């Protein structure tokens, strides 16, 4: 979690010195620190992570992607169809057997 605090004069001076030593501005240094903190917070326990707006993450939940597929029978589709085994016969009622049972 990132908490914005009002920095003391002394802290600002020390950070300004650090920024000068590293050849960057104070704003740049603070930005780098904020990004570093954000990275650290991602590695924190889930309960410590500040939830973000789901609108920024439209993939959350079920996110389905269409991948390219390597078709096997794209050219020889007829071969594939003809290779199908015949479907089993439908259930048939034997009229003679029904007549026997009714007697």
Partner 1 sequence: MSPNDPWYEIVGPDSPLDQGDLILRCPILTWDQTKPLTVTKAGDEEFLREHIASFRADVLVFTQACDLEHHKVRNVVLGPHRPVSEIRVAWDARMREMGQTPSAKAWRRYCEDIADGYVWNQIFLNSFDSTGLSTELRVVDFHDLFTVPRDFLESLLRQRQEARLRLRPPYREHLSQAFARFFMRVGLPQPVSPAW
Alpha-carbon gap, residue 45 to 36, rounded angstroms: 17
Sequence-distant (6+) residues with CB within 8 A of 16 are 26
Residues in region 57-86 near partner 1 by CB under 8 A: 57-73, 80-81, 84
Cα–Cα distance measured from residue 60 to residue 48, given in angstroms and rounded to the nearest whole number: 19
- The minimum distance between CB 63 and partner 1, in angstroms, equals 5
Phi, psi for 57 (deg, rounded to 5): -130, 70
Nearer to partner 1 (CB atom), residue 10 or residue 63: 63
Ranges within 23-62 binding partner 1 (CB under 8 A): 42, 46, 56-62
Q: How far is the CB of 100 from partner 1 (least distance, A)?
A: 32
C-alpha distances in Å from residue 93, one per residue of 86, 96, 97, 102 = 21, 9, 8, 14
Q: Binding to partner 1 by residue 88, rule CB under 8 A?
A: no
Could you tell me the smallest distance in angstroms from the CB atom of residue 77 to partner 1?
A: 8
| Closer to partner 1 by Cβ: residue 9 or 72 | 72
Q: Residue numbers of the site for partner 1 (CB under 8 A)? A: 42, 46, 56-73, 80-81, 84, 87
């Amino acid at each position: 979690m990132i908490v914005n605090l009002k920095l003391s004069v002394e802290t600002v001076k020390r950070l300004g010195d650090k920024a000068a030593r590293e050849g960057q501005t104070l704003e740049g240094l603070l930005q780098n620190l904020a990004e570093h903190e954000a990275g650290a917070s991602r590695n924190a326990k889930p309960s410590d992570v500040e939830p973000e707006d789901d609108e920024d993450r439209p993939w959350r939940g079920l996110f389905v992607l269409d991948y390219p597929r390597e078709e096997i029978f794209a050219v020889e589709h007829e071969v594939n169809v003809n290779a199908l085994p015949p479907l089993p016969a439908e259930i048939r009622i034997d009229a003679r057997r029904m007549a026997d049972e009714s007697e």
